Amino acid sequence: MPKDGGIGTSPKRREDIRFLSGTGRYTDDINLHGQAHAVFVRSDVAHGRLNGIDTEAAAAMPGVIRVFTARDFEGCGGVPCGWQITSRDGSVMQEPKHPILAEGKVRHVGDPIAVVVAETLAQARDAAEAVMPDIEELPAVVDMKAAVAEGSEKVHDDLTSNLCYDWGLVEDNREAVDRAIKDAAHVTTLELVNNRMVANPMEPRVAVGDYAAHSDESTLYTTSQNPHVIRLLMGAFVLNIPEHKLRVVAPDVGGGFGTKIFHYAEEAFCTFAARALKRPVKWTSTRSEAFMSDAHGRDHVTKIELALDAENNFTALRTETYANMGAYLSTFAPSVPTWLHGTLMAGNYKTPLVYVNVKAVFTNTVPVDAYRGAGRPEATYQLERIVDKAARELGVSPIELRRQNFITEFPYQTPVAVEYDTGDYHATMDKLLEITDHAGFEARAEESKRNGKLRGFGIAHYIEACGIAPSNLVGQLGARAGLYESATVRVNATGSLSVMTGSHSHGQGHETTFAQVVAEMIGIDADQIDIVHGDTARTPMGMGTYGSRSIAVGGSAVVRAAEKVINKAKKIAAHLMEASEGDIELKDGQFTVAGTDKSVAWGDVTLAAYVPHNYPLEEIEPGLEETAFYDPANFTYPSGGYGCEVEVDPETGHVEVLGFAAADDFGNVVNPMIVEGQVHGGLAQGIGQALWENCVYDADGQLLSASYMDYAMPRSTDLPMFKVDHSCVTPCTHNPLGVKGCGEAGAIGSPPAVVNAVLDALNRGGHAVDHIDMPLSPARVWAAMEAARANMGAAQPAARAQETAGGRSVGTP
Amino acid sequence: MYDFDYDRPGTIQDAVASLKAEEAIAFSGGQTLMPTMKQRLAMPSKVVSLMGIEEMKGVRLEGSEVWIGGATTHATVQRELAESYPAMASLAGRIGDPSVRSRGTIGGSVANNDPSACYPAGTLASRGVIVTDRREVPADEFFQGMFMTALEEGEIVTAVKMQVPERAHYAKFIQPASRFPLTAVFVAKFADGVRVAVTGASEMGVFRWHEAEEALSSSFDAGAVEALATPDGTDMISDLHGSGAYRAHLVKVMTKRAVAAA
């Protein structure tokens, strides 16, 4: 009989009732007595010397309480960076100061210069227009390769250059890789751009600072994925507020996608201003501000080379990537193109030699940091594109070329530092080909041809490292934080539970899934269990949610804490039933003594714990509340095969996605419905990156795609019904639930599948195009076909869609 | 948004009087004006809503001519012209989203003359005449370039008149972000000739593709367009969504498709 609750079932998301009925409590819903409103004055130029700021007129305007500039933050720290990378030559990365408000220079469009705090939002806006910064415009640094050339204008005058770091993995393999490529039977080379993304969570960022003079305590309400991290960074490094005097609350948060991990200047500002003014200060980002102040994602320019032997075995892989950091180092920015990217360059393949080089570059653009997938989509994209290109060059099936090189034995130590614990890539490939009806593709392609369309099929396989990760390992890699997770299980006298987790839900559905896990362990209804998150005053020190880590790390902490509770409860039950502790079993909310008909209910035991009249007080303390901190032994390694079927209109270049299928191995799954929803969302974002989304700067550093008029988001009508399967299961070997995490997979695996499908369609239609950079807009696809047409008669090599060899990942149509 | 005065007159006469105030602006649905004001890119002293003027609303069929009140929403046009002028109903039904179509009006659209708007193409192709509070202006003279029209200070578009063609179709290729036309073509075949109006493509705003009109007037089929040279792309819009050459190419493709579907 199928289960109707617990692990593996799909109860509806309990939090959706409040989200869908307008009773959620988002940060902007928080309005405190006496609250003042902050409006930021932002730079409208990409780069300039800030010679002064005239705030006099603004300060005199109606309702204005105070105008803040950098001068007010003397004695405070800058926005800190949480990860330090060491370059190939052993030197540490260049780390510029990131002031709360611009000091001396403005470095990107949107860089905050001053803040007006006024009685009303309208008054603050009016006065913000009267703030007059004196900016002497400087040439903008936009192109990454030009930025690191000799004599380039510098984003930060006090650094030696615009190069943040020059990193290699694994440096000892470099020569062997070079040699293998030189000696290879075949080398496939590809230059590509991973386009810059704007995360666009539905809820823009908001910060409300509050200060209680009677206790000298500050509270920050903020749209964050990790309130404890914000408390630590802001308290210790920016404002010098000890953690016991600082509370950070991240209530309902309407989507994060990475961009709400980071500590932002606006959070520090509102906390600081509330102390300075002795009244609450609120800032709510406009959508326009979000485009120019939320950390962006991706933005890599890469050259990748794959070497193969005469039997088409991969023998070596070499990459050189320029990674855009933007104007300042956002919280985890340095880790994304390095440890979250280089370590994944082996992919699903047993390539014996891999060398990854990454040059991180400062430019006059919005800082770039983690965005759904963070480094792993960039790795997967390169790898899955070059494997397809190699297959085309060699005239072999891209499916068979992948299969031939799949890793099949686990654990597998890659040449790029990580060890995959488990996986079965042939199984996900088999499943993918089944659910995409690959056997029927040729017939469908014929049908398209009759309708004047070009049909194509593309696949991609991915591996990702999730459940980030063992603290001691990330510490060695440069993390300035631990990456465990915490949980407290508090059992109430009547048997209901509050589970306080350090994970944070901003759409993931933890209130449903974490409750399922605990309900399963104890055997009680999930509605007896409340999940508490997002408040440093209510939850143990936790690291928050990103990197698909919640169920793998946070869920494991919940399991460990619940196990402690159950072990103690068994002791109490043993006492109550006068039995040996070792004979006690807990099932369906009943404690029984093995081999007898004795039983006591969960509620009887919990009551005894808090009313300890008949209780082993000499052996154990009263009460039933336990905390666990879980630090995993390794990353988890979800993997899967994705397939995309498209139709290209050869006259316009328009791409229609006709079908998309995902065969994922997430290990064990707690709530299949939620997992499918996560994959759906990830696919929409990944397909969005492949076909529509593009953050574009011009050569002067002006943000061209600064609104939804020019930044194309995927819409439901653009997407087909997805086929999502997670029946291939190789459980994670090192966490108690055997789970791997599913939040990012869709965004990681889908872009190369889409691009491979479009190129397959074009080549089947006689257009010899070997690459088009994302997004594959109709204009780009058409231009690629035109270029290929122009080259056809001239015996030239297959045409490039456009120049990508330059350091600009931005600015081209 | 800055502070402004608001007036909602009930007659054209009162609206004209109200618009005499300095920096006053007419509001006819506000689907462009409101976002512009919210961004503080426009700061009118006074907003004069035309949405309360009954004599500017509705759709009437008079012989082979359609009269559409300036304050008639896209949704109403879509509904009312479904039988009598389906190509125009289809154009109206593909503007923006349901919210835009329930608020935006034809008068607002032609008066704004956004180079990527749909109605200017439909109006120009349908031998339209723009009726204002003081005169009637043929569409050929009314649309004068990107965001430029023949309207004088304070002049209101009270209605748009169109000739219903024998056959017509609006072929629209959307810009993926805004969903405005990247390039769209309205083809209208009358007994005595064909009109081809193009929006979204030119730096000069909506325009007629005369070569195609000539070719289609002698032979109304897609092959006649195929034989034409692609229009010159030099004056076409070139932006992050497509080059001038791409838009010029789309002009031809969309014209062919409009003819085939008409």
What chain A holds in terms of domains, given with CATH numbers, is: 27-138+202-255+260-293 (3.90.1170.50), 297-468+634-806 (3.30.365.10), 484-630 (3.30.365.10)
Sheet containing A105-106, strands listed edge to edge, beginning at the edge strand earlier in sequence: A105-106, A48-54, A132-137
CB–CB contacts below 8 A, A to B: 51
For the cut 60, the answer to whether the pLDDT of residue B124 exceeds it is yes
Cβ contact B176–A712 (<8 Å): yes
pLDDT at residue B81 in the model = 98
Site from B31, B38, B240, B256 to mutate, A interface, most A CB atoms within 10 angstroms: B240
Contact list, B176 vs chain A (CB under 8 Å) = 691-692, 712, 777-778
Q: What are phi and psi of B37, to 5 degrees?
A: -70, -40
What residues contact A518, with CB distance under 8 A and at least 6 apart? A489, A497, A499, A526, A529, A558, A562
Site from A197, A657, A709, A810 to mutate, B interface, most B CB atoms within 10 angstroms: A709
Cβ contact A694–B249 (<8 Å): no
Map out the domains of chain B as residue ranges. Answer: 5-49, 54-163, 167-261
Instruction: Tell me B108's DSSP state.
Output: H
Q: Could you give the CA distance from residue A588 to residue A722 in angstroms, rounded to a whole number?
A: 37
For the cut 90, the answer to whether the pLDDT of residue A306 exceeds it is yes
Of B177, B182, B242, the CB nearest to A711: B177
What residues contact A271, with CB distance under 8 A and at least 6 apart? A207, A209, A218, A220, A234, A239, A241, A246
Sign (positive/negative) of CA torsion A232, A238, A242, A244?
negative
Give the count of alpha carbons within 13 A of B99, CB side only. Answer: 3
pLDDT at residue A792 in the model = 54
For the cut 50, the answer to whether the pLDDT of residue A797 exceeds it is no
Q: Is A406 helix (H, G, I), strand (E, B) or coil?
A: strand
| Angle subtended at Cα A603 by Cα A601 and Cα A607, rounded to the nearest 5 degrees | 125
For the cut 60, the answer to whether the pLDDT of residue A809 exceeds it is no
Q: How confident is the model at residue A470 (pLDDT cuts 50, 70, 90)?
A: confident
State the CATH class of domain B54-163: alpha beta
Instruction: Put residue B248 in one of left, alpha, beta given phi > 0 → left and psi -120 to 50 → alpha.
Output: alpha
What residues contact B153, with CB distance under 8 A and at least 6 apart? none
Contact list, A196 vs chain B (CB under 8 Å) = none
Q: Could you give the CA distance from residue A629 to residue A540 in angstroms, rounded to a whole number?
A: 9
pLDDT at residue A747 in the model = 98
For the cut 50, the answer to whether the pLDDT of residue A801 exceeds it is no
B247 strand-pairing partners? none
Instruction: Tell me A494's DSSP state.
Output: T
Cβ contact B173–A708 (<8 Å): no
Cα distances from A60 to residues A111, A269, B40, B204, in angstroms, run: 24, 21, 21, 45
For the cut 80, the answer to whether the pLDDT of residue A468 exceeds it is no
Cα distances from B242 to residues A783, B96, B248, in angstroms, run: 9, 20, 10
pLDDT at residue A631 in the model = 94
pLDDT digits (tens, 9 = 90+) for A473-489: 888 888 888 889 999 99
> How far is Cα of residue A614 from the mean position of the Cα atoms in its chain?
51
Of B177, B238, B246, the CB nearest to A782: B246
The shortest C-alpha distance from B165 to chain A (Å) reads: 28
The H-or-E segment that residue B98 falls in is: helix B98-103
Contact list, B246 vs chain A (CB under 8 Å) = 778-779, 782-783, 813
> How far is it between the farthest Cα atoms of chain B?
56
Task: Give the mean pLDDT of A98-115.
Answer: 98
pLDDT at residue B143 in the model = 98
The H-or-E segment that residue A127 falls in is: helix A121-130
Cα distances from A65 to residues A61, A68, A221, A653, A799, in angstroms, run: 9, 10, 21, 55, 61
Q: How confident is the model at residue A646 (pLDDT cuts 50, 70, 90)?
A: very high
Q: Are A634 and A477 in contact (CB under 8 A)?
A: no
Q: Are B196 and B184 in contact (CB under 8 A)?
A: no
Strand-pair category, A300-308 with A314-326: antiparallel
Of B40, B240, B253, the CB nearest to A710: B240
Q: Are A363 and A138 in contact (CB under 8 A)?
A: no
Contact list, A777 vs chain B (CB under 8 Å) = 176, 241-242
Average pLDDT, whole number, for chain A? 95
Q: What is the ipTM of this complex?
A: 0.96
What residues contact B251, with CB distance under 8 A and at least 6 apart? B183, B185, B198, B201, B209, B230, B231
Site from B114, B241, B253 to mutate, A interface, most A CB atoms within 10 angstroms: B241
Q: Are A644 and A618 in contact (CB under 8 A)?
A: no
The shortest C-alpha distance from A697 to chain B (Å) reads: 10
Whether the link from the prior residue into A593 is cis, omega within 30° of 0, is: no
The H-or-E segment that residue A530 falls in is: strand A529-532
Residue that wins the pLDDT comparison between A694 and A801: A694
Cβ contact B242–A779 (<8 Å): yes
Task: Give the mean pLDDT of B210-225.
Answer: 97
Q: Are A122 and A116 in contact (CB under 8 A)?
A: no
Average pLDDT, whole number, for chain B? 97
Task: Give the mean pLDDT of A730-745.
Answer: 96
Task: Give the mean pLDDT of A746-758.
Answer: 98
pLDDT at residue A457 in the model = 98
| Among chain B residues, CA nearest to A710 | B177
Q: How confident is the model at residue A471 (pLDDT cuts 50, 70, 90)?
A: confident
| CATH number of this structure's domain B5-49, picked from the four choices 3.30.43.10, 3.40.50.300, 2.170.120.12, 1.20.1090.10 | 3.30.43.10
Cβ contact A783–B243 (<8 Å): yes
Q: For the domain covering B167-261, report its CATH number.
A: 3.30.390.50
For the cut 90, the answer to whether the pLDDT of residue A229 exceeds it is yes
The reply to whether the predicted model has a pTM over 0.90 is yes
Contact list, A696 vs chain B (CB under 8 Å) = 240
Neighbour count for residue A229 (Cβ, 10 Å): 26
Structure-token match 């498209």, residue found: A646
pLDDT at residue A5 in the model = 80
| Among chain B residues, CA nearest to A811 | B240
For the cut 60, the answer to whether the pLDDT of residue B51 exceeds it is yes
Whether the link from the prior residue into A612 is cis, omega within 30° of 0, is: no
B186 strand-pairing partners? B170, B197
Task: Give the mean pLDDT of A747-760.
Answer: 98
B residues 147-206 closer than 8 Å to A (CB): 173, 176-178, 182
Q: Could you give the CA distance from residue A360 to residue B148 in angstroms, rounded to a whole number?
A: 47
Alpha helices in A21-102 (DSSP H): 56-59
pLDDT digits (tens, 9 = 90+) for A771-792: 999 999 999 999 999 999 876 5
pLDDT digits (tens, 9 = 90+) for A27-36: 999 999 999 9
Task: Give the mean pLDDT of A345-350.
Answer: 98
For the cut 90, the answer to whether the pLDDT of residue A185 exceeds it is yes
Q: Could you give the CA distance from residue A156 to residue A496 in angstroms, rounded to a whole number?
A: 56
pLDDT at residue A3 in the model = 67
For the cut 90, the answer to whether the pLDDT of residue A718 exceeds it is yes
Q: Is B239 helix (H, G, I), strand (E, B) or coil?
A: strand
Contact list, A692 vs chain B (CB under 8 Å) = 176-177
The shortest C-alpha distance from B245 to chain A (Å) reads: 9
For the cut 80, the answer to whether the pLDDT of residue A806 exceeds it is no
Radius of gyration of chain A (CA): 28
Cα distances from A505 to residues A252, A267, A510, in angstroms, run: 8, 19, 6
Neighbour count for residue A396 (Cβ, 10 Å): 13
Q: How confident is the model at residue A553 (pLDDT cuts 50, 70, 90)?
A: very high
